[in-house]
Amino acid sequence: MFLSLNLAIIMKQVNEVTTDLQYDNAVNKCREIFLKKTNDYGTSWRVYRTISVADQIYIKAKRIQNIQEKRVQKIDDDIEGEFKGILNYAVIGLIQLDLNEGDPDNDWEEELNLNELLKLYDEKVRQAKDLMQNKNHDYGEAWREMSQESFADLILAKILRIKQIIQNNGKTLMSEGVDANFYDILNYAAFALIHLETV
């Protein structure tokens, strides 16, 4: 009994380390793309309002869902690339919420300094990872047994929630706000990328 209990504890610790490494690897690939696109386009996304960020994620998740259903695609961009885009747009959504908060006139500086931008990116990812670790503690990494299709569906559901919250002028009676949905989207995209690497 004692030996099996110790083995269970060791296996839990190994799984936590594995998840952390896989999560960091998935996010780092997205961060690399984010950096390259920032080099190409600057921070042109600063003009996006929250609904526009949500729509960008919606388009990508809807495309993933369509490819999964039809089992054929006519454009070369693969599903993995779409999930990476979703993760980066979720980070953008979170950054935008922070930078535009308390600025009703949207009188913000369009171009962000690269060092400042990377600090913001890393902070949002760190907060998402903390959330992931807390949820994994409670749910026991149930996401590992989920299907790839579920991640696309969950992301779409979160986008619909964001749109409804925006229609309600940001007010909710019992639910979490827009930021919580962006954090969940970020983590679902990371889980989907881990799945794609390990299947």
> Which pTM was predicted?
0.88
Q: 121, 97, 100, 109: which is closest to 38 by C-alpha?
A: 121
Token pair of 53, please?
């960020």
What is the number of alpha carbons within 13 Å of residue 7 lying toward its C-beta? Answer: 4
Residues 6 or more apart whose Cβ sits within 8 Å of residue 9:
none
Residues 6 or more apart whose Cβ sits within 8 Å of residue 186:
87, 90, 91, 94, 124, 125, 128
Q: Where are the domains of the chain?
A: 42-198
pLDDT (tens place) for every residue of the chain, 199 residues total: 555 545 444 445 545 568 999 999 999 999 999 999 999 999 999 999 999 999 999 999 999 999 999 988 888 889 999 999 999 999 999 999 999 875 655 555 678 889 999 999 999 999 999 999 999 989 988 999 999 899 999 999 999 999 999 999 878 777 889 999 999 999 999 999 999 988 6
- What is Dmax (Cα atoms) for the chain? 64
